C-alpha cells in the first residue's frame, strides 16, 4: 500500500488579454491573485487582498506531449503496475479541458491525454506479450444528471443506473469492450464522442455540456510465471463540464437548465472557484493498493500446498508429543464408533473418559451428537407430555369391547366419560324397554374423538410459550432425522385411514340410533296390545297388528345386533391403529439416538 497525494497542475490557455490581477510565477509554481474589493463597493480604494495558490506544476505554452509526460505518464505507469488511476480536467467553459483531455485528434502532436494514454498502454501490451495484457474500455456521459452509456450498440446513447455499495459506485450494465489493438480502442473513443450531447455555448462553439468519463481497464500478469498473479486496474479519464457565469450572455431555456445542473454537480467539487478547489484537492491523501486478481488454478494449488505443509507440521507436533496414529479425517466407521460412545455415556452411565477427544473434528462431531440427542429428547418429551395430557383429560376405552347379549343393550352414556358402546355397567343403564335404552344418542365424536390417538393427531392450535421450544424440537426431529420422518409419514397415513374408519363408525352409530328409536316405539305398541286384552276379546285386526309388530320388532333387533357388531369391529380396527401409533411413540422413547446424522 502506498500513500499518494493527489497532484494538481494548472494549465493556462494562451490569451491575448491576460488579466492584470493574475500573476503567474512558473518557477515557484504559484499564482497570485489580486482581488480588487473596490469594484464591489467594499473596503477603501487602496485596499487590495492578495491570495497565493501553489500547484504541483504550471503548464504554459507546452506541447500536448509535454503535458502527457508531466501530468499523465506516471499515472499510466501506476495503472500498468496495478493501481487505479484518475485524471480529470476541470475549469471554466472554454478554458481548455477538452483540448487537454482529447485534443485535436487529426494529428498526433495535437492529441490530448486520452489518445496518448491509450497509445502508452498498447505500447506496453505489444512490447511485453508475456504479460498477456487485456484492455477493456467504457465511455459514459453524465448530462443533466442522467448517466448515458456512450458505447452501447444503439443510435443514441443508452441510459444506465448506478449501484452504490460500501462507498464505491458501480455502473450497472455499462458496456465494456475488449480491445486487442490501439486502433480499436481509439475507434471506440471517437464513436463515443459522436454520441455525446454537445450544445453550442456562446463562449465556445464545441464546448460540451456534460461530464464524460473514458475508462481503460487493464488486466495483466504480474510477477513471475511461477506465481501467476494478475493485476486489474482502471484508468479513469474525465472531462468535466465547464462551469461559468451566465451574466450578460444569452442562453436558451434548455441551456439555462443545463448550466444549473452542471453548476449543481460541480458544487460537490468544494466550490466552483478553480483555485480554491485545487488547494483542497492537494490536501487529500489516497491509500493506493495494487489490485490483484488471483488465478483460481494457482490459488487452489497454493492452498493445497499449504494444507499439505500444515498436515506435516501437525504430524511432527503429534510425534514430538508422543501421540501416534491420530486420524484427522473422520470416516463413517469412526463416526458411528463415536456415536456408540456418546450413547453409552448418555444412557449407560459410561465414564466420560470413554469418549475420545483427540482433535478438533472429533470434538465438533461430539457436539453435534449431543445436540442430536438433546433434540431427540425434547421431541420425545413433547410426545410424552401430549400423551400424559390425554390420559388425564380424556378417559380411555379400557374395558372389554366384546359385549355379551346383556351388555350389548347398554348403549348409552357414562357419566362424564363420553359415550361407550357395550361398556356401561348394567346398573348405569338408563330406562329401557326390553333391554333397549330409551335414551340413546350415540355420538361418534364422543366415542372416537376422545381416543389417545386422535389427541396425538390433532396438534393444539394455540401453543403455550413455554412449550414452543419443545414443539420446535419436535418439528426439527420430524424433519431432520430419518426416525422422525418415518414417524411423520406413518402418522399421516394413519390419520387418513382413521378418518375413513370414523366416517364408517359415524354412519353405523346413526343407523343404530334410528333402529333403537323404532324398537322403542314397537315395544310401546306391544305394551298397549297387552293392556287392551286382545286375547280375551279376540279381534282379527288387533291380533294381526300384534303379530306384525312382533315380527318387525324381531327384524329391528336383528338389524340392531348386526350394526352393533359392525360398530365393534370398526372400534377394534381403530384401537389397533391406535396401538400402532402408541407403539410409534414408545419407539421414540426407547431409541437412544436417531441413526442418521443431523446436518446443520
Ligand atoms: P473547454 O473544454 O474547457 O470548454 P476547450 O478545450 O474546448 O475548452 O477549449 C476552448 C478553445 O480553446 C478550443 O478551440 C481549443 O482548441 C482552444 N485551446 C484550449 N487550450 C488551448 C491551448 N493550450 N493551446 C491552444 N489552444 C487551446
Ligand atoms: Mg469541453
Strand, coil or helix: what is 167? coil
- Residue to mutate (ligand 1; options 61, 90, 96; most atoms within 8 A of CB): 96
Which pLDDT tens digit goes with each residue over 3-53?
678 999 999 888 888 888 888 898 899 988 876 544 444 444 454 567 888
Strand, coil or helix: what is 251? coil
Say how far apart CA 308 and CA 478 lie, in whole Å.
41
Q: How many angstroms does the Cα of residue 152 sit away from the middle of ligand 2?
A: 22
Whether the predicted pLDDT of 123 surpasses 90: yes
Say how far apart CA 573 and CA 508 lie, in whole Å.
14
Question: Stretch 275-297: mean pLDDT, rounded?
Answer: 81
Confidence at residue 200, expressed as pLDDT on a 0 to 100 scale:
41
Say how far apart CA 450 and CA 417 lie, in whole Å.
9
Confidence at residue 533, expressed as pLDDT on a 0 to 100 scale:
63
Per-residue confidence at 252, pLDDT binned at 50, 70, 90? low
For residue 279, give the C-alpha cell: 488547494
Which pLDDT tens digit goes with each residue over 506-526?
888 888 999 999 999 999 888
For residue 274, give the C-alpha cell: 478553480
Q: How many angstroms does the Cα of residue 139 sit away from the middle of ligand 1?
A: 21
Centroid of chain to Cα 333: 36
- Candidates 342, 322, 334, 131; CA nearest to 218 is 131
Q: How many angstroms does the Cα of residue 245 sit away from the middle of ligand 2?
A: 16
Map grid coordinates 374408519 to a residue.
Answer: 501
Confidence at residue 202, expressed as pLDDT on a 0 to 100 scale:
43
- Residue to mutate (ligand 1; options 99, 104, 209, 237; most atoms within 8 A of CB): 99
Under 8 Å between Cβ of 33 and 275 = yes
Whether the predicted pLDDT of 187 surpasses 80: yes
Whether the predicted pLDDT of 94 surpasses 60: yes
Q: What percent of the chain has pLDDT over 70?
A: 67
Task: For residue 136, give the H/E element and its range.
Answer: strand 134-143
Confidence at residue 112, expressed as pLDDT on a 0 to 100 scale:
96
Pocket-forming residues, ligand 1, beta carbon under 6 Å? 13-14, 91, 93-99, 204, 206-207, 242
Whether the predicted pLDDT of 183 surpasses 90: yes
Strand, coil or helix: what is 280? helix
User: How many secondary structure helices (H) and strands (E) does the chain include?
Assistant: 16, 21
Q: How many angstroms does the Cα of residue 103 sit away from the middle of ligand 1?
A: 8
Question: Stretch 459-487: mean pLDDT, rounded?
Answer: 64
* Distance set, CA 233 to CA 81, 292, 294, 441 (Å): 8, 9, 13, 88
Which pLDDT tens digit goes with each residue over 523-574?
988 888 777 765 555 566 677 777 888 888 888 999 899 989 999 888 888 8
pTM recorded for the entire structure: 0.52
pLDDT, averaged across the chain = 75
Q: How many angstroms does the Cα of residue 95 sit away from the middle of ligand 1?
A: 6
Confidence at residue 98, expressed as pLDDT on a 0 to 100 scale:
92
Task: For residue 517, give the H/E element and its range.
Answer: helix 482-531
Ligand 1 atom closest to 99 (CA): 6
Q: Which residues contact 88 (CB under 8 A, 6 or more apart)?
A: 236, 237, 238, 239, 240
Beta strands in 189-304 (DSSP E): 211-222, 229-239, 285-288, 292-294
Confidence at residue 338, expressed as pLDDT on a 0 to 100 scale:
92
For residue 55, give the C-alpha cell: 500547484
Centroid of chain to Cα 579: 44
Whether the predicted pLDDT of 285 surpasses 70: yes
Question: Stretch 397-420: mean pLDDT, rounded?
Answer: 34
Q: What percent of the chain has pLDDT over 90?
A: 26
Residue nearest to atom 1 of ligand 1 (CA): 94
Say how far apart CA 597 and CA 583 lie, in whole Å.
23
Q: How many angstroms does the Cα of residue 97 sit away from the middle of ligand 1?
A: 7
Q: How many CB atoms within 10 Å of residue 332?
A: 8
* Distance set, CA 68 to CA 30, 64, 77 (Å): 21, 6, 12
First to last CA, the chain: 40
Residue nearest to atom 18 of ligand 1 (CA): 96
Amino acid at each position: 500500500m502506498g500513500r499518494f497525494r493527489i497532484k494538481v497542475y494548472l494549465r493556462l490557455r494562451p490569451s491575448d488579454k491576460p488579466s492584470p490581477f493574475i500573476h503567474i510565477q512558473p518557477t515557484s509554481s504559484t499564482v497570485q491573485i489580486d482581488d480588487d474589493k473596490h469594484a464591489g463597493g467594499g473596503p477603501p480604494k487602496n485596499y487590495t487582498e492578495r491570495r497565493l495558490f501553489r500547484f504541483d506544476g504550471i503548464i504554459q505554452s507546452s506541447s500536448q506531449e509535454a503535458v502527457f509526460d508531466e501530468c499523465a505518464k506516471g499515472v499510466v505507469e501506476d495503472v500498468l503496475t496495478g493501481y487505479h488511476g484518475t485524471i480529470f480536467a476541470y475549469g471554466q467553459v472554454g478554458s481548455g479541458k477538452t483540448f487537454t483531455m482529447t485534443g485535436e485528434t487529426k494529428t498526433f502532436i495535437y492529441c490530448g491525454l486520452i489518445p496518448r494514454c491509450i497509445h502508452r498502454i498498447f505500447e506496453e501490451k505489444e512490447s511485453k506479450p508475456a504479460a498477456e495484457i487485456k484492455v477493456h474500455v467504457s465511455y459514459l456521459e453524465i448530462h443533466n444528471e442522467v448517466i448515458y452509456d456512450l458505447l452501447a450498440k444503439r443510435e443514441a446513447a443508452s441510459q444506465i443506473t448506478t449501484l452504490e455499495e460500501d462507498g464505491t459506485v458501480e455502473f450497472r450494465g455499462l458496456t465494456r469492450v475488449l480491445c486487442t489493438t490501439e486502433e480499436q480502442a481509439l475507434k471506440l473513443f471517437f464513436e463515443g464522442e459522436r454520441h455525446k450531447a454537445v450544445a453550442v455555448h456562446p463562449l465556445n462553439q464545441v464546448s460540451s455540456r456534460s461530464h464524460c468519463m473514458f475508462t481503460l481497464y487493464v488486466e495483466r500478469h504480474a510477477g513471475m510465471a511461477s506465481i501467476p498473479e494478475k493485476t486489474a486496474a482502471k484508468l479513469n479519464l474525465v472531462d468535466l463540464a465547464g462551469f461559468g457565469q451566465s451574466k450578460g450572455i444569452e442562453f436558451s431555456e434548455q441551456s439555462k437548465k443545463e448550466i444549473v445542473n452542471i453548476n449543481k454537480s460541480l458544487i460537490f467539487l468544494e466550490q466552483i472557484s478553480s483555485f480554491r478547489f485545487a488547494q483542497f484537492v492537494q490536501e487529500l491523501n489516497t491509500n493506493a493498493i495494487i489490485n490483484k486478481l488471483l488465478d483460481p488454478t494457482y490459488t487452489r494449488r497454493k492452498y493445497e500446498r499449504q494444507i499439505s505443509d500444515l498436515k506435516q507440521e501437525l504430524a511432527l507436533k503429534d510425534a514430538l508429543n508422543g501421540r501416534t496414529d491420530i486420524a484427522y479425517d473422520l470416516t463413517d466407521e469412526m463416526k458411528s464408533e463415536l456415536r456408540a460412545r456418546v450413547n453409552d455415556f448418555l444412557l449407560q452411565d459410561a465414564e466420560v473418559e470413554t469418549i475420545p477427544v483427540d482433535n478438533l473434528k472429533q470434538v465438533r462431531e461430539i457436539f453435534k451428537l449431543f445436540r442430536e440427542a438433546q433434540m431427540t429428547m425434547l421431541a420425545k418429551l413433547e410426545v410424552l407430555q401430549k400423551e400424559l395430557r390425554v390420559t388425564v383429560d380424556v378417559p380411555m376405552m379400557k374395558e372389554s369391547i366384546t359385549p355379551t347379549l346383556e351388555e350389548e343393550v347398554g348403549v348409552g352414556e357414562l357419566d362424564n366419560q363420553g359415550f361407550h358402546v357395550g361398556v356401561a355397567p348394567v346398573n348405569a343403564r338408563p330406562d329401557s324397554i326390553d333391554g333397549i335404552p330409551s335414551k340413546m344418542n350415540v355420538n361418534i365424536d364422543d366415542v372416537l374423538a376422545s381416543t389417545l390417538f386422535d389427541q396425538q393427531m390433532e396438534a393444539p392450535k394455540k401453543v403455550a410459550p413455554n412449550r414452543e421450544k419443545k414443539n420446535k424440537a419436535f418439528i426439527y426431529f420430524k424433519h431432520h432425522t430419518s426416525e422422525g420422518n418415518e414417524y411423520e409419514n406413518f402418522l399421516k397415513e394413519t390419520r387418513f385411514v382413521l378418518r375413513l374408519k370414523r366416517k364408517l363408525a359415524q354412519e353405523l352409530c346413526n343407523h343404530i340410533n334410528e333402529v333403537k328409536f323404532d324398537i322403542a316405539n314397537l315395544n310401546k305398541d306391544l305394551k298397549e296390545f297387552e293392556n287392551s286384552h286382545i286375547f280375551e276379546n279376540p279381534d282379527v285386526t288387533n291380533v294381526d297388528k300384534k303379530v306384525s309388530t312382533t315380527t318387525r320388532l324381531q327384524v329391528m333387533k336383528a338389524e340392531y345386533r348386526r350394526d352393533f357388531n359392525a360398530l365393534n369391529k370398526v372400534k377394534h380396527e381403530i384401537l389397533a391403529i391406535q396401538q400402532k401409533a402408541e407403539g410409534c411413540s414408545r419407539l421414540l422413547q426407547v431409541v437412544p439416538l436417531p441413526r442418521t446424522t443431523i446436518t446443520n
